[in-house]
Amino acid sequence: MFLKPSKGQLKFWSGLNQPKKRQKEGFFIAEGIKVVQEILRSGKRAEYFLVREDKEEKLAGLLAAVKGSRLYLLSPGEWKHITQDKEAEGIAALMPRISVSLPAPCGFDDLRCLLLYQIGNPANLGAIFRTAHWFGITSIFISENSVDAAHPKAIRASMGSVFHLRIWENLSFPEILSILKERFVLIATTNRKGQKPHPLHEPSVVILGSESHGLPEEILSMARENWCIPHFGDAESLSLPQAAAIILYEWTQNR
């Protein structure tokens, strides 16, 4: 049932912790029980699965669900070279890159899309993926100079929601916004003055900026509306995932 990995395979898997290697090879490691469950639920195809030998009994139910796939059994010592988790759950999948190639789809059926500008924190990115999935946003555009969507921390923070999304990466936003503007209302977000987030009946896109720098004036000026979450206390700011959850909740209320 289980295959023994070669030294070359172990080296390849551990190398996928590096973004350049993931980009070059076109694969990444998706680790964790919930993440693997969401891969199976999404219908995405894993190349094969990796299992830590001392977790095999605990994972019996999940392993039954991947019956027919190639399974590699790793020792705890081998596992530590690929894991990103402090408390390893002992299962991971080798997955092909999750981003979709351009051209950008102007003939979308989507009424709502999410645009993420220069997001540098992988945990924030993964949390936004999870929030988008919750609110039914399935198409996400990510600008150049953002963290890799296949970063292990982004995959883990998404709790597998990333496998239910269509993702475009490394985009020039002025260029992509000029294309999307033909069909969608552009909504930029800011922590300065702006309208309260609200439902929209028209096809629309919301643009979120990084937690540290927000959106540049060039993008704010292209939007039809700028949204700002009202605040009543004296906290300096919300975290980006918190702000994203509030905005997406208000935006999707007319579904």
| CATH fold of the domain at 112-251 | Alpha/beta knot (3.40.1280)
Q: Where in the chain is the domain with CATH 3.40.1280.10?
A: 112-251
pLDDT recorded at residue 14: 95
**pLDDT at 37 > cutoff 90:** yes
pLDDT digits (tens, 9 = 90+) for 176-212: 898 888 889 999 999 878 899 999 989 999 999 988 8
pLDDT digits (tens, 9 = 90+) for 213-227: 889 999 999 999 999
φ, ψ for residue 154, nearest 5 deg: -70, -40
Q: Where in the chain is the domain with CATH 3.30.1330.30?
A: 2-96
**pLDDT at 122 > cutoff 90:** yes
Please state, in angstroms and rounded to a whole number, the distance separating the CA atoms of residues 94 and 78: 16
- 16-20, 83-87, 183-187, 203-207: least confident range: 83-87
pLDDT digits (tens, 9 = 90+) for 136-186: 999 999 999 999 999 999 999 999 999 999 999 999 888 889 888 888 999
- 71-75, 133-137, 178-182, 245-249: least confident range: 178-182
Give mean pLDDT, residues 59-73.
Answer: 92
**pLDDT at 127 > cutoff 70:** yes
pLDDT recorded at residue 251: 96
Question: Is the CATH code 3.30.1330.30 the one for domain 2-96?
Answer: yes
Give mean pLDDT, residues 73-84.
Answer: 93
How does residue 104 score in pLDDT terms, banded at 50, 70 and 90?
low
How does residue 27 score in pLDDT terms, banded at 50, 70 and 90?
very high
Peptide bond before residue 105 is cis, with ω within 30 degrees of 0: no
pLDDT recorded at residue 178: 87
